Amino acid sequence: MNTMQFDADVAIIGYGPSGVAAANILGKHGIKTIIFEKDKDLYSRARAVTVSDWTMRCFQAIGLDDAVAKDMDETAGLRWIKYDGTEILRMGFPPSILGKHPTSYAIYQPKMEETLRKGVERYKDHCQIYFGSTVNTVSQNAECVELNIIDENQEQRIVRVKYALGCDGGSSKTRESLNIQLVGDTVDTKWVVIDARVKRWWKNRNLLTFWSDQKRPVVDIALSLSNHRWEIPLESHETEQDFQTNEQIWPLLNSMGVTDKEVELYQHAFYRHHVRRAEKWRDGRVFLLGDAAHMMPPWAGAGMQSGIRDAFNLCWKLVEVLNERMPESVLDSYEIERAPNVEFYTQVAVQLGRIIKQQVTEEEMAVIGPQLSAEPPVLKLPEIEAGWVQNVSSSAVGKILPQPKVTDSRGKLGYLDDITDDSIFVLGNRIDPKLVMSAEQISQWDQLNVKYFTLLSAEDDGKGYDDIIDINNTLIDWLNQHKAKTVVVRPDKFIVADDINLNRPSFTF
């Protein structure tokens, strides 16, 4: 019998977007969690600029989507233009099928993080947060992880947990303690990031604009809450010393027609782009998330979001393991499932960067432009290629389930996720799923505390207790398109099994 004493089930190292997302999930499910953040105050600089409908669906799962959305603006569209005003490409956003929110939002990251942190305050009985505390080293054995903590009073203590999540950014001490190497490159070019507050409107300010130029490509972004951002590369002969004051910054903005009549400058900083990843994201009982595991250029707007998605992928599995419904081996699926998606967005960012820097010919652009407009890669619906899924060759398996407006069996209108919550559930397409499942299959899934629902059309009669009515037939049509009569859906809304094989997947990877 294991008599080891733990200070918590899970430690979160770093309280940025990945860490605060993880804390909300674990807190919601009653997992005893301890959080260490070296900074005493919320980081005030806006780094990320956007969130998608997929990320908003993650926030919906922790009951914070409406709270964060009130401080966001729907993204109007993207455009690529030259300094002479020639428009290379324009791209809009189609309606979302993933939830109740638009496909893309412009954000102001400090405000979004503040709201997410307030969300964790709902779980004070389960989540302890220590600001001003540095995790000096991380060590582990087969049963626990030990963290060497230097607290805000510079006193040292040891904390023992079952699992630890390294959410401590690109210079992660967690990764360093585990001797996990970073592979990839850091681009030599240094960029200045300029943040401003809007004083008056200017032409097309609402469009996320990429100024395409070989020498001075610029990202020109309307953030929410009346903020605006420019990201501008320094030329080879320029240094940070050349842009220390607002007077030195203004000529960069003037070249795009922006003056002190339009905006008030309030801060700027310098950084380099990275295309790097950790050699592995799991070492025993310790996991790397977000920038600690992978870094990408900003062109696809997916860096911060990838860390949040890491947290949602890993933490529902930790909940299942800690509640002894799944074996620990399911945690091995974390990197298997997340790494291909992160690599996809990394390559999208790299290729979009080539367009912004005018590193593609006009002939190439004539081919790429229509493709980008027709199927914007930044809006590609997520899929799981391998991991805790059954028979990914099936049409529906590995895809994320659409979320239409539906009603429950009593006629209460809402969105699908609000009815199914974040359980594993089996959904029958106009049929009771248990009628097409064998007794053995039902027994396998019941071990995971699954729920069963019957999806009905508005024209159908229900049973009155486990019915979900697809009032516009949106989900019914999608399931028919994928030839699926029954699907099993994970807490993160990815389909794990369907008609071809309704057996529970293996926990071996």
The whole model's pTM is what?
0.94
pLDDT (tens digit per residue) in 256-308: 999 999 999 999 999 888 889 999 999 999 999 999 999 998 878 889 999 99
For residue 346, give every residue at least 6 positions away whose Cβ sits within 8 Å of its Cβ, in sequence order, or none.
275, 277, 294, 296, 297, 300
Phi and psi angles of residue 43, each rounded to the nearest 5 degrees, phi first = -65, 125
- Domains of the chain in start order, with CATH, are 8-70+107-181+275-347 (3.50.50.60), 405-498 (3.40.30.10)
State the CB neighbour count (10 A cutoff) for residue 121. 10
Helix H or strand E encompassing 221: strand 218-222
Of the candidates 285, 303, 284, 287, the one whose C-alpha atom is nearest the C-alpha of residue 295 is: 303
pLDDT (tens digit per residue) in 439-459: 999 999 999 999 999 999 999
Which band of pLDDT confidence, cut at 50, 70 and 90, is reported for residue 46? low
3-class SS of residue 271: strand
For residue 347, give every residue at least 6 positions away whose Cβ sits within 8 Å of its Cβ, in sequence order, or none.
none
Burial class (CB in 10 A: 0-12, 13-18, 19+), 349: buried
Helix H or strand E encompassing 371: helix 362-374
pLDDT (tens digit per residue) in 179-233: 999 998 887 788 999 999 999 999 999 999 988 888 888 889 999 999 999 999 8
Length of the chain: 509
How far, in Å, CA of 374 to CA of 177, rounded? Answer: 45
pLDDT at 246 over 80: yes
How far, in Å, CA of 410 to CA of 162, rounded? Answer: 42
pLDDT (tens digit per residue) in 475-509: 999 999 999 999 999 999 999 999 888 999 999 99
Burial class (CB in 10 A: 0-12, 13-18, 19+), 253: buried
